[in-house]
Amino acid sequence: MLEMTHEIRGDVLILRPAKRIDSSTAKSFEEQANALVDAGPAKVVIDFSAVDYISSAGLRVVLTTAKRAKSAGGALTLSGVSSNVKEVFDVSGFATIFGMHDTDEQAIAALKS
């Protein structure tokens, strides 16, 4: 099971997964993210500052979470992406799909603009 906390800041949901998002934790990540997006704000920041690895299974969950947020009238962006995780986003081409910001505050500002 993936360790994840979350916070609602105004009209923005911040998801904070931890450690590794791979084939063994992606289902848990998806279930938790879906439940929170369905229940809360549709503007979503995924804070990757505590994530040290993401696999293609994890990338798929980020993409499906973004689609879910968009269909609810919101959007998704990322914050705190480490160089290791960013490399996976770059190689997969996902870096061009999602905004990446250093801090939650910058990500929230991007969602509000």
Structural domain boundaries enclosing 38:
4-103
* H or E element, residue 13: strand 12-17
Query: Is residue 51, in this structure, part of any structural domain at all?
Result: yes
- Residue 24: DSSP 8-state: T
**Nearest alpha-carbon partner for 85 in 63, 45, 52, 56:** 52
Query: Is residue 14, in this structure, part of any structural domain at all?
Result: yes
How many domains in the chain? 1
pTM of the model: 0.96
pLDDT in tens, 25-76: 999 999 999 999 999 899 999 999 999 999 999 999 999 999 999 999 999 9
Query: Is residue 111, in this structure, part of any structural domain at all?
Result: no
